[in-house]
Structure 1
């Protein structure tokens, strides 16, 4: 009887909290220690109106500590609440929060988006994190116009302002900072290359921006891109791609997420054929050569060993002029196709012995990938840019947060 009464009381309390515009949220760290970890939860049961926002508080004993949070209307209009599980949260522990509807201003927008008319710049406290270029960028004068394109990320920065990407280098004019084309695509019985623009078989173009968001926790955008093939009958868009990019307000570096959603845009399938490179790629700053940068993967491989191996993460650290050392850590999600994904990198002999830094998560390096009409195919990556050095322990911790985030329960 007591147990039944307890259940009834808990149910009544829960109903009362919903009615009052207040919910209790429990975050479980799970198997891993956490530090300044991004957490989120769908919060659609709170009846959010135009004149209200969500205020979040951590319940510590009898005290409630204010916590910065941000509500984003995700695809389908689903409201998702994001915040940072600040400090250290030990494995196996829980933390409790209270979210309530309030009628106040949204507060400080630490994470902002600047639209230049040609691209979107994501900013943290006024510092540039990255730029998404939606306008067409022509190649240098005298170079075949086929090498121009739109829909790529450049520059991507370290926290101190070092530029860690490059576009249109003289050795590979089709390299565009951080970009996501495919090299061997079979469509309607014919083969096309959307990576090597000079072959004039296809390209990827930015189409539109669906959404831009900014606030105290993240800045980002949802963009749409067209994958086009060039044939005897003219151009045809065979795949529609969405990019969901979010830069997070955490200390110690620039952390941002990249999610690609691919689906065929006609009633025919698209077959991405196995090839040694394709997909999510990064051409690093031209300052980096074999003389001043190093690579390391989750499997303990160094630069001369990496190409063709698989890894959960990879980082590159290099000297940036007189500004010290900076780098980028790339994390692949375990639910990605063919995870842990094969890597294509340039070793120290690349580019005539210069050893420039190029990194590519290439899920189709060793197997085909068939994309069927009517279905959506997602690939997710998390990037952390930093000044100084990276180490395995920190890389593993960031990957654990990305791959197996804390469990969040709304009560």
Structure 2
């Protein structure tokens, strides 16, 4: 695995020459929304790719000056090259900014956004500060607990910039809760029903298969991982669906910002029908420090914890007390292109767990609607997560959602 990391990172900073000569002019239009430190990108597959190795240097043109801007070139999972950078500072709605990209053999090779492989997990970092762990090795339940609760392919811990941990796994009340994970509760396949969420039922599970790509650089660090969805039947185990996770963490000030993209596709010649059920899909079990006494929830529709469950929303954030005196939080943004958007929410109310009111949040696109997945097709779900210290506001959450849902338009001139 460590060798794979090194090879992929070398490839990502050693793209073929994009331009035989000259330079590329890029115009970014803010569109209808004010922008602050916004992630932008442009595909460059239409440009003339050469065989020699080179780097890309990006400048912003301000009047007659060229100001160097950090950038990073990545290949997307479909193989197309994309140039990423941060639209730093404030960019008012209706304005545009101009950039120049050119070939250089002296491109940036340091990495602020880092990926570390422990042999059991990938750690995404900003400098030396841990953002999240992706656990690809199997994690077993505590001694004396049914081994059916074992799991791989989940995120824990996910942290705030201060280092406060915002997730938990294997809580005694729900041993099948694994930080941030993405299984489905009611799956109909070949005339039978399976449950890949409630592991104690022993009807199915999700397992990490491999890490396809990892990368790091000045703009983002991340990985592309593959997982398999298993059903358990009297005839044995069977993979009925493959899943890819594309996770990118971004170099923005003050907060941790990262994208989670799931790609689902049936792995046999039969369809997979995800039946409507009150919870399934992208789930987050928050730190056990948080109870109804010290954390609050707010959605994009202005709803608070007692009224959230079963409503739809573009985003939800939870802010709570960590370590007795500091406040940190977790914002989840749901993309408008997701199935059944704006998605229904499943949350635990204040009476959960015998009145403790632990925090559990689930964007559940199939809460009130079946979802049929056909062979030969891929079905995507996209979320953006922001972890922060202090408090979140609705205005800030809306700004971040606008950046995610309707990013600035980028044109190559």
TM-score range, shorter chain: over 0.9
Mean CA deviation greater in 219-228 or 67-76: 67-76
1:270 maps to 272
Q: How big is the shift at 1:252? A: 1.6
Counterpart residue number, 1:9: none
Cα distance, 1:77 vs structure 2:
1.8
Does 2:42 match 1:20? no
CA distance in 2 between counterparts of 1:306 and 1:59 reads 46
Q: Following TM superposition, by how much is the alpha carbon of 1:104 offset from its aligned partner in structure 2, in angstroms?
A: 1.5
How far the C-alpha of 1:103 sits from its partner, in A, is 1.0
Please, which of 386, 389, 402 is the counterpart of residue 387 of structure 1? Answer: 389
- Whole-Å Cα distance in 1 between the matches of residues 55 and 124 of structure 2? 23
Whether the 8 Å CA contact 1:332–1:381 is kept in 2: the answer is yes
Aligned to 1:11: none
Aligned twin of 2:141: 139
Q: Which has the larger radius of gyration?
A: 1
* Aligned residue runs from structure 1 range 48-87, under 5 A: 49-87=51-89
CA offset digits 1:262-296 (Å, max 9, x no partner): 00000000000000000000000000000000000
Match of 1:123 in 2: 125
Q: Which residue of the partner structure matches residue 33 of structure 2? A: 32
| Pairwise CA distance, 1:21 | 4.7
- Taking the aligned partners of 1:166 and 1:395, their CA distance within structure 2 comes to 24
Does the aligned pair in 2 maintain the 1:21–1:47 contact within 8 Å?
Answer: no
| Corresponding residue SS for 1:76 | coil
Query: Which residue does 1:283 correspond to in 2?
Result: 285
Contact 1:22 1:46 in 2 (8 A): no
Count of residues paired in the alignment: 395
| 2:260 alignment partner in structure 1 | 258
Q: Equivalents in 2 of 1:37, 1:309: separation in Å?
A: 29
Unaligned segments of structure 1, at least 5 residues = 1-16
* Equivalence for 2:180: 178
Query: What SS does structure 2 have at the residue aligned with 1:221?
Result: strand
Distance 1:50 1:302 in 2: 56
Q: Which moved more, 1:69-78 or 1:326-335?
A: 69-78
Q: Structure 1 residues 323, 129: closer, same or farther in 2, change over 3 A?
A: farther
* Matched-pair contact (CA < 8 Å) for 1:48–1:101: no
- 1:42 aligned residue: 43
Paired with 2:233 and 2:82, the residues of 1 have a C-alpha distance of 43
In structure 1, C-alpha distance between the alignment counterparts of 2:390 and 2:130, rounded to whole Å:
18
CA deviations 1:71-113 (Å, max 9, x no partner) are: 0011232100000000000000000000011112433210010
| Aligned counterparts of 1:111 and 1:97: Cα–Cα separation in 2 | 22
The Cα shift of 1:215 comes to: 0.2
Q: CA RMSD in A?
A: 1.0
1:12 — aligned with what? none
Change in Cα spacing, 1:207 to 1:30, as seen in structure 2 (3 Å) is: same
Distance, in Å, in 2 between the alignment partners of 1:127 and 1:50 is 35
For 1:130, what is the secondary structure of its paired residue?
Answer: strand
CA distance in structure 2 between the aligned counterparts of 1:78 and 1:396, rounded to whole angstroms: 30
Output the CA distance in 2 between the equivalents of 1:208 and 1:18.
34
Contact 2:20 2:50 in 1 (8 A): no
| Structure 2 residues not aligned, in runs of 5+ | 1-17
